[in-house]
Amino acid sequence: MQEQYRTVAREGVHETEINRSRFLCALAPAATEEEAQEFVARIRREHPTATHNCFAYVIGADAAVQKASDDGEPGGTAGVPMLQMLLRRELRYTAAVVTRYYGGVKLGAGGLIRAYGGAVGEALDALGTVVRRRFRLATVQVDHQRAGKLENDLRTTGRTVREVRYGESVTIEIGLPDAEVDAFRAWLADATAGTAHLELGGEAYGEG
């Protein structure tokens, strides 16, 4: 399992113009192939009069799912260069749609490849990317007296506090890199005089 992956920071659109043709690259994070397909379908609905809506997406921290479509452009001149740009930038769980409004000047195969790949690259530069790291979900149960200070200590030591729930005791949900579990257990026992209870959950990815 990959320790981390890079994805687009947020959904957004970036426009470029090449020889009077408009290229609008829409990017979005997509957790599943289904989400990527829904994003592609939504962008197509938003641009029904466009000449082409070409797409590419990469799903999986190990890039297990890779799909691309030229949507009527000459084979290999649109979807593939878009996909190659995502892979070159090491993007995962990312969907890209480039909408082209034809401006009357033919670009030729080389020009199309540069235009579609370049549109994705420029959009990535404009929207930015984030690295998500694998971590283990963990819950800490502690009494009300110690909860406030513990939550503060967790934040000041750079821990990812995901949720705090108040009941008979206080439950603090955090994310821990696997390699730090033992050290954290020792730190927690020390910080709470052995009164806190730590329970490890499943794995997830988050910004790190």
Q: Are residues 202 and 119 in the same domain?
A: no
More confident residue, 109 or 160: 109
User: CA 184, CA 108: separation in Å to the nearest integer?
Assistant: 58
Task: Identify the pLDDT of residue 207.
Answer: 66
The whole domain housing 166 covers 133-207
Find out whether 208 and 133 touch, Cβ atoms under 8 Å.
Answer: yes
Q: Are residues 37 and 74 in the same domain?
A: yes
The answer on pLDDT for 208 being more than 60 is no
Domain boundary among the residues 110, 127, 144 is at 127
Average pLDDT of span 188-205 = 91
The answer on pLDDT for 169 being more than 90 is yes
Task: Identify the pLDDT of residue 157.
Answer: 86
Query: What is the CATH classification number for the domain harbouring 31?
Result: 3.30.230.30
| Model confidence band, residue 173 (pLDDT cutoffs 50, 70, 90) | very high
* Size (the chain), residues: 208
61 Cβ partners below 8 Å, 6+ apart? 1, 2, 4, 5, 92, 93, 134, 205
Q: Count of CB atoms within 10 A of residue 201's CB?
A: 12
Task: Identify the pLDDT of residue 116.
Answer: 98
pTM, to two decimals = 0.76
